[in-house]
Amino acid sequence: MKRNTTLIAGSVLLLVGAGAFIFANSGGERAGRDKTEASAVAKPRGERGTPGSAEVAGEPAMTKRVRPPVANLDLVAEYGEARTKYSRQIAGNVVTLLDDVVAMGEKMAGGGGFGGQRGALMALGGVGRQLELSDEQRAKAEALLADFQKRELEKSKTAINSLRNDPQSLMRMMLASDKFSRGEITEDQYKAIQLSSQTELQGLMNPLDRQNFQGGRPLGDETFRQGMLEVLDPKQTETFNAAIEARPTPAAGAGGIAELPPMDLEKLDKTITSAQTLTRGVQQMMEGLGNLQELGTAPK
């Protein structure tokens, strides 16, 4: 069942007014004015209508609906109000998707890592097979991976909350991506904005990056590497260190949300929405398989 959960999780990888005035009914205007004037004569001077009151000199009350202030004015000035508003909507969907991904990751990590105990070492790639770990070593390696993944998930949750409170950095990157995909800015201009966004969006995983669904990048984590060196024998240590040295240096921001492929807002919106549908479907499958396992009827 655990392996099946891993394969199911992998499927996710195939995959983010003008001000209006309301006037009171003026019917029976003359009758109303006469009534008001009569009332005004009967009232002491200090009780008569004054400017700013609901009724002045018999005129009907008038309510003005004030337009709320425009958010993200700097983005509006550069990209226009309509596109900026659309990007904010998509950013909200990205936050929802990331929440779902983290929830799914926590369920997987709770089973001994992404993909469960048997599939946990998939995050190590080829070296996981080359090490030929004993059962005892495998259990320790899986515990190290689970710890790594939990730490990454905690970082993600903190970053997601920051994004939830202030999505402007993501909005700017998406708007630049939108302009670049439509040929309105050069690739160099887009890359410059993307690069500046990497720091601001640090800690946010790219929900469309398949590596993030295979346990992340533990070989790039110093704590995990040091823990593994305590588990391995000398020959395995040599193999492990060789794999570390041979692996390509990850690009800056690899696996982060700043690495979303450039596309216009409409396509990005559809992509994120589709990813949400798939992720929630996978979550439901995982819950169903978990229930089957509890009943002792899960497929082997």
| Sign, CA torsion 163/167/171/173 | negative
Q: Identify the pLDDT of residue 36.
A: 46
Residue segments in the chain with a per-residue pLDDT below the cut of 50 = 1-56, 112-117
| 0.95 exceeded by pTM | no
Burial class from Cβ neighbours inside 10 Å (0-12, 13-18, 19+) for residue 150 reads middle
Q: Identify the pLDDT of residue 110.
A: 61
Q: Identify the pLDDT of residue 269.
A: 95
Complete DSSP assignment for 148-203: HHHHHHHHHHHHHHHHHH--HHHHHHHHHHHHHHTTSS-HHHHHHHHHHHHHHTTT
Nearby residues of 1 by Cβ (< 8 Å), 6 or more positions away: 116, 289, 292, 293, 298, 299, 300
Q: What are the φ/ψ torsions at residue 72 (nearest 5 degrees)?
A: 55, 55
Q: Could you give the CA distance from residue 261 to residue 278 in angstroms, rounded to a whole number?
A: 19
What is the C-alpha end-to-end distance of the chain, expressed in Å?
Answer: 5
β pairing state of 62-65 and 20-23 = antiparallel
Q: Identify the pLDDT of residue 224.
A: 94
Q: Cα torsion at 265, 267, 271, 277 (round to 10°)?
A: 100
Instruction: State the helix-helix crossing angle for 222-231 and 135-165, rounded to 10 degrees.
Output: 170
